[in-house]
Amino acid sequence: MGTVDALLLGLLQGLTEFLPVSSSGHLVLLGRILGTEIGDDTTFAVLVHAATVLATITVFWGEIVRLVRGGLTFRVNAESRYLLRLGVSMVPILIVGLFFKERVEALFGSGVRFVGSMLLVTAGLLLLTHFIRVKKVRNISVRDAFVIGLAQAVAVIPGISRSGSTIATGMLLGDDRGQLAKFSFLMVLVPILGEAFLELLKGEFSPAASGISAYALAAGFLSAYLSGLFACRVMIRIVSRGRLWWFALYCAVAGSVAIILG
């Protein structure tokens, strides 16, 4: 993987991690175009995911500090209740990671047509939010958090957008749009950090053994971080307005092209 390839893949990871168009699906598609299978390189994958985590922390730094401080009081308050909902939302993805990881990884070799068909599923889910609008808006409950967590677990399939599925599910449940983007992005922090920590323990994260130059790794990390910052802030504004149908149109076109040319 050259520096330009790493730059493009990092840019794509940063944008698609937050925008509802499936980062995993796009990385598979672009990897095929560039002749680089990112899924086969754990080091680079962990690095660009770490960059998007850092982007999330940067955007929500004040909120994260407030939640941690409130949670450390060990009292029932607004912060501890929010942390509880975040914890509940992580249960489904934890189960998938513990018991179905090998099956999920096998899906990344399912081919471009499979990714295209899953992009069409993402398009359909996003389009539902345009036609189905819940009049009575409510705060995210513990039950809603678990359902949104189920959507996140399904989104491990390449082509199913994580942010798209979680945000769209919350909108269809009638949750406050102003809360959904923040909740969707915060709920993925611990799973990604946990997975990265496990890779470190297993010794699979090794820049030296990856065969990728330090310049390429740095370019991939920096481009993923900067594009992630931009996409995260943009997505917060888009969700607050409830306009996801443009992304539905994009996913439908991208999925159709992938199926036809797959």
How do residues 160-200 score in pLDDT, each as one tens digit? Answer: 888 889 999 998 888 888 888 889 889 888 777 776 666 66
Q: How far is CA 118 from CA 18, 165, 256, in A?
A: 17, 12, 10
Lowest mean pLDDT segment, chosen from 132-141, 186-195, 204-213: 204-213
Alpha-carbon span 29 to 115, nearest angstrom: 8
Contact call for residues 1 and 44 (beta carbons, < 8 A) = yes
Contact call for residues 141 and 167 (beta carbons, < 8 A) = no
Alpha-carbon span 150 to 144, nearest angstrom: 10
pLDDT above 60: residue 248 = yes
Specify the higher pLDDT residue, 33 or 248: 248
What pLDDT is attached to residue 196? 66
Strand partners, 175: 138
Mean pLDDT of the chain: 81
pLDDT above 70: residue 42 = no
Phi, psi of 138 (to 5 degrees): -135, 170
Tokens read off for 191? 């799973």
Task: State the pLDDT confidence band at 105, using cuts at 50, 70 and 90.
Answer: low
Alpha-carbon span 102 to 90, nearest angstrom: 19
Query: Helices 61-71 and 177-186: crossing angle, nearest 10°?
Result: 80
pLDDT above 70: residue 48 = yes
pLDDT above 60: residue 208 = no
What's the pTM value of the predicted model, to 2 decimals? 0.82
As a whole number, mean pLDDT of residues 116-127 equals 90
Long-range CB pairs of 213-217 (<8 Å, 24+ gap) are 213/3, 215/3, 216/1, 216/2, 216/3, 216/5, 216/6, 216/7, 217/6, 217/43, 217/44, 217/47
Tokens read off for 218? 């740095």
